[in-house]
């Protein structure tokens, strides 16, 4: 499993449109917390497993300005044009996030993918087998 990686959508997609589409696609999931940070330059999706955990994380964020590392997150950084994926979290949270990440790769591809820990590009490996991100 790659605990931290970045996805850069294909150049034909504008990051603002990508962000809007991703948020719209996940907004109905009651176990996903949506946060807008950095004056609207960062959209965070926190995969909280349960709606109760969403409420707790929202309160935690409002009080401390951060969310628990227990949960996986996708952060869409608009000014950098990338999506940061953090999945060193509860396995249930990572499993909840997996179909969203696969959908992002399929919908906004061909995507460039970078392992954030090693700083190595893994685009070709992910294109051949996206599950490499989760194994």
CA distances from 49 to 5, 25, 33, 110 (A): 21, 17, 10, 29
Partnered with residue 43 across adjacent β-strands are 36, 76
CB neighbour list of residue 54: distance below 8 Å, 6 or more residues apart: 30, 31, 32, 33, 46, 48
pLDDT digits (tens, 9 = 90+) for 92-120: 888 999 999 999 999 999 999 999 999 99
pLDDT digits (tens, 9 = 90+) for 34-81: 988 877 778 889 998 899 999 988 998 899 888 777 777 888 888 789
* pLDDT score, position 74: 81
* pLDDT score, position 113: 97
pLDDT above 90 for 1: no
Q: Which of 26, 60, 55 has its CA nearest to residue 43? A: 26
């Amino acid at each position: 499993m790659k605990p931290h990686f970045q996805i850069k959508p294909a150049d034909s997609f504008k990051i603002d449109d990508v962000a809007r589409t991703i948020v719209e696609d996940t907004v109905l999931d009651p176990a996903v917390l949506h946060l807008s940070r950095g004056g609207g330059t960062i959209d965070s999706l926190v995969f909280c497993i349960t709606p109760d955990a969403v409420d707790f994380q929202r309160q935690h964020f409002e009080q401390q300005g951060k969310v628990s590392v227990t949960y996986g997150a996708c952060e869409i950084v608009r000014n950098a044009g990338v999506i940061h994926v953090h999945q060193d979290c509860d396995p249930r949270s990572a499993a909840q996030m997996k179909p969203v990440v696969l959908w992002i790769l399929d919908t906004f591809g061909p995507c460039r993918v970078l392992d954030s820990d090693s700083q190595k590009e893994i685009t070709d490996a992910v294109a051949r087998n996206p599950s490499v991100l989760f194994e």
